[in-house]
Amino acid sequence: MDRSRQGQQYAVGSPSRDNTTNKEIEMGVLTTEILDTFNGLLAEAQASADREPTAMTVATVGTGHGPSARTVLLKGLDERGFVFYTNFDSCKGRQLAGNPQAALLFHWKLIREGVQVRIEGNVESVTAAEADAYFASRPRPSQIGAWASLQSQTLSSREEFERRIDEVEKHYADLPVPRPPHWSGFRVVPELVEFWYGARYRLHERHCYERVDGQWQQRMLYP
């Protein structure tokens, strides 16, 4: 059984794998097939009891070649790639500035027999307009926090942080909170996307899409 077709009702306009054309495989940064498959799985996760279906692990590597990983939320996805937002002075922000490559991992344990989506790619900054639009959509306390937090720096006490929050709230009292210059977004532009479908007895199913010379190639992998 092709497990990638289960739950396809969530993927609007998802093309049949058997009818995928070379043109579809080669178009854009992300193909229609990859996007529809991912969006269908995400919709299943959102309909499940998963409290954070957009949560993903982001792995980066610093200048000393040591890896780091943390969980963030997916905030945008289109044919260009996967977007998340952060403080550029954070550990991940500094690492991505020095080594703009990342790996993402979604793990949805509550759908089917478990599903993972693994992404590898180069990283670029989103535009100022994109970052401004998303920041404006955030709750005001989150906007205040983006100014008050000296992310990843040493904090002497919780009271110190709360004091900084109060100072920012007073500074922007009755005013819109602008986006801090150190706060923006990253887009992971995929070079590899793998869909992993769990199965009994560890007889899993893996579908891998990889860009080779600018064109997407699809293959199955042994579990």
DSSP notation for 59-97:
EEE-TTS-EEEEEEE--EEETTEEEEEEETTSHHHHHHH
Block means of pLDDT (10 residues each) for the chain, 223 residues, are 37 32 48 95 97 98 89 97 96 95 98 97 97 98 96 91 97 96 97 96 95 94 96
Q: What is the pTM of this model?
A: 0.83
58 neighbors 70 (Cβ within 8 angstroms): yes
Distance of CA 158 to the CA centre of its chain: 29
Collapse the DSSP code of 48 into the 3-class scheme (helix H, G, I; strand E, B; otherwise coil) and give the result. Answer: coil
Helix spans in the chain (H):
22-26, 32-47, 91-98, 128-137, 140-148, 158-171
pLDDT, residue 57, reads: 99
Q: Which of 202, 206, 211, 219 is catalytic?
A: 202
Superfamily of domain 3-221: Electron Transport, Fmn-binding Protein; Chain A (2.30.110.10)
46 neighbors 145 (Cβ within 8 angstroms): no
Catalytic residue check, 17:
no
Amino acid identity for residue 91 in this structure: C
Phi, psi of 83 (to 5 degrees): -115, 135
Cα separation, 114 vs 184, whole angstroms:
32
